[in-house]
Each structure stands twice: as C-alpha cells, then as structure tokens.
Amino acid sequence: MSALDELRRKADEKKAAEHQKELSDELLEETYQTKLLPKMQSLYDMLNETISHLNFLEEPIIVNNYCTRYPQFGTLLQKNYKINTDGRVGLSNYNRLMQINLSFTCEAKGDFTYPLVSTYLIEQEVSFLQSNRLDFDWKYLSPKDGKAYANFTVKRKVPVSFRIEVAYNLSQLKVTIQNHQNLESYTKNFSPEQLDGNFLDILLSYFLRKDTRLLQKLGEISAEHKTAIKTAVHNNFASYQQEQAALLGKIKFEEDAEIQHIASEKKLNFMKNIFSKFQK
C-alpha cells in the first residue's frame, strides 16, 4: 500500500465515523423531541399547577415523625414551594426543557441540642449535616476523659428537593429526591416509556405524602418496611436463641440423667459385691 492509499483509508475511516456520529446525534435529538420533551412538559405542568394550588391555599402538609435518626425534629410542616427549570430561580425555554427543580421545606419552630464525644464522631456528624444542607451550629467543649467533646444545635428545618433532568446521551430521565423523608436520598434513571400516567400519579402521591409507592419504583423500600424487616429479624433471632437454650438445656438434662444412671449402676454393683461376700 502506497503512502497515498494509506491517507485515503484514514480519511475514509474518519468520514465514516463522522457520519455515524451525525446519525447518532440525529437519533438522540429525535428521541428528545418526540419522547423526552413531552414527558418533561407534562411533569412540569403537573408540578407547577400542584404547587400553585398549595401556595395559594396556604395549608401546610403535616409530617409526623420525620426522622428516626433525629426524633427531636418531631412533627414538621411541609411548605414554601418553589420551582425552576434553569437550576437557579428562573424558567428556561418551555420547548427546550432539560431539568425541573422543585424545592420546599419541612419545618417547625425552635431547634434541638445534643452532645457527641470523640473526634471521629464529631467529624462524621459535621459531614452528614452539611451534606443534607441542614442549618446547624456546633462548638467544642472541655474534653471528657481525654476525648474531644462537642455540642450540636440543629434548627428544625429540612430543605427538600425533587429534581428531574434529561440524561440526553442515554435518552432517559433522571429522578433525584433528597430529604423528603428520614434525610434519605434516591436517584434513578427511567426510560420515557416508564414515566407514564401511572408514574406521574405515584410521584405526585409521594410528594403530597399520601403513600410511598414511589420508593418501589426507585428500587427502595419504605421506612415502615425496613422497620418491619428489622423486627422480623430480631424476633427470629430471639426465637432461635430460645430454641438453642431449650436444646442445650435438654442435652444437659440428658447428660445429667446419664451420669446419674451410671452412678446408680455402680452403686448397685458395689452393694451386690458386698452381699455376695457375706453369703460366701
């Protein structure tokens, strides 16, 4: 192959690759326009209308027992809804929606305070509170038993966010939910076909705290189910321990009985030997 032939081959390969990319880009854009964009518009219309009604009615949703890690949060009120499509505070082109951001707070008056001992636990706590965007303060106090000691004060206000964004190169929609319950976060990609009318109803019901069916769609289980599983495991383990204790007790009883039986036989043989000597 001459040098010119080699250049021709490389040029042809590059042209083929560029043509394939153009076809791929055209397919991605077509999927966005025909499948992803209509879903995003439906989601936006539904969420925007929902929070418009909620903000107008000014009737906060009551959130009981929000967090198992911090029961001090107690009962909170879900309110202060905002929505944007540009990642800040505004609305982007409705015909080019790439993200929907819904935010609100679960809050109540006051705060709560608790202590932590050891540098490791204190650093972990600061990291956790910051990652969940909680409003808190903390300060070191006099060491206890040579260990670091700090007091934390956390405001009873939790920022919550629902984010739906276009994963353009995957032709999917990514759903991310943070802090809606128990300071937990969920993220999952969905195909346009999965986000049907039933999914929209489930998403809205979860947002309004009517049920937790959405967690199953996200591949998660509810806090109630987690508690039920833990209880079942605990009960099964306790039952197992009781069975083991009963079995060990039975074994020990049988061993004691066997020992007593052997001892009785030895004693009987001893008495027989004595009587046999007198008879002689």
HEC string of the chain equals CCHHHHHHHHHHHHHHHHHHHHHHHHHHHHHHHHHHHHHHHHHHHHHHHHHHHHHHHCCCEEECCCCCCCHHHCCEEEEEEEEECCCCCCCCCHHHCCEEEEEEEEEEEEEEEEEEECHHHHHHHHHHHHHCCCCEEEEEEEEECCEEEEEEEEEEEEEEEEEEEEEHHHCEEEEEEECCCCCCEEEEEECHHHCCHHHHHHHHHHHCCCCCHHHHHCCCCCHHHHHHHHHHHHHHHHHHHHHHHHHHHHHHHHHHHHHHHHHHHHHHHHHHHHHHHHHC
Residue with the bigger pLDDT between 222 and 130: it is 130
- Please give the residue that has the higher pLDDT: either 145 or 165: 165
Residue 18 has pLDDT above 70, yes or no: no
pLDDT digits (tens, 9 = 90+) for 55-77: 999 999 999 999 999 999 999 99
What was the pLDDT predicted at 68?
92
Beta bridge partners of 103: 82, 161
Q: Sketch the domain layout of the chain as residue ranges.
A: 11-220, 221-280
Tell me, what's the pLDDT at 252?
A: 56
Question: Between residues 254 and 31, which one has the greater pLDDT?
Answer: 31
How much is the average pLDDT of 144-166?
A: 92
pLDDT at 135: 97
Q: What percent of the chain has pLDDT over 70?
A: 75
Q: How confident is the model at residue 129 (pLDDT cuts 50, 70, 90)?
A: very high
Single out the residue of 234, 216, 233, 212 nearest to residue 224, CA to CA: 212
Would you say residue 96 has pLDDT above 80? yes
In contact, 181 and 142? CB cutoff 8 Å: no
| pLDDT score for 240 | 47
Tokens of 194: 């999965």
- Among 172-176, 177-181, 191-195, name the one with the lowest average pLDDT: 191-195
State the chain's mean pLDDT as an integer.
Answer: 82
Which one is predicted more confidently, 208 or 276?
208
For 200-224, what is the mean pLDDT? Answer: 81
Q: Which residue has the higher pLDDT, 95 or 14?
A: 95
For residues 274 and 198, the model is more confident at 198
The backbone torsions φ and ψ at residue 128, rounded to the nearest 5 degrees and listed phi first, read -65, -45
